[in-house]
Amino acid sequence: MSGASSIRLRACVVVIEDGKILLVPHFNTDVGPIQWHIPGGGVEFGETLQQAAIREFAEETGLQVECSEFLGIYENIKPDGSWHSVSFAFWGKVVGGTIQSEMSSYGERRAQWFTPEEVHELKYHPPAFVDRALASLKH
């Protein structure tokens, strides 16, 4: 096994408004130049999963969010052993703020709203959460 020897804990919030899901771009991933993620990030020591999800959502989008019920767990282990993460997702709703953007060496990083049809044209992560969120729109 090569690479890291720790498990990354990630917390994220799935938000759907007006039939669209909010995703943030991640650049130069192992699947291509852009992969769209549910907003979230690493859990810090002493922080609850919901606290981490709310903080990371705000950092990545500029929006304040409230978490509601638990959506699920997604585990990702790369075959070469270089990456192991466990993501915890919550349903949520935006309660304030405005979408912010930041420039990186790869381009503008700005959260965007996507319809289910638009999402299916994208590379996105974690697939289990995005697919479940989009399936909820059909009911």
69: in domain: yes
Supply the mean pLDDT for the chain. Answer: 90
- For 21-36, the pLDDT digits (tens) are 999 998 887 777 889 9
1: in domain: no
More confident residue, 81 or 71: 71
Token pair for residue 112?
A: 């965007």
* In the predicted structure, residue 40 carries a pLDDT above the cut 80: yes
CATH number where 124 lies: 3.90.79.10
* In the predicted structure, residue 2 carries a pLDDT above the cut 70: no
pLDDT bracket for residue 139 (50, 70, 90): low
2: in domain: no
* In the predicted structure, residue 4 carries a pLDDT above the cut 70: no
- For 90-119, the pLDDT digits (tens) are 999 999 999 998 877 777 889 999 999 999
- Integer Cα distance of 32 and 125 in angstroms: 12
3: in domain: no
Q: Which domain holds residue 72?
A: 8-136
**Positions of E strands within the chain:** 8-17, 20-29, 32-37, 40-42, 63-77, 84-97, 101-104, 107-110, 112-114, 124-125
Contact 97, 64 (CB under 8 A): yes
Q: How many domains does the chain have?
A: 1
What pLDDT score does 108 carry? 80
Q: Minimal CA–CA distance to 114: which of 11, 14, 12?
A: 14
What share of the chain in percent tops pLDDT 70? 96
Q: Minimal CA–CA distance to 69: which of 53, 47, 85?
A: 53
31: in domain: yes
What pLDDT score does 115 carry? 95
- For 51-80, the pLDDT digits (tens) are 999 999 999 999 999 999 999 999 988 888
What pLDDT score does 1 carry? 38
Contact 8, 88 (CB under 8 A): no
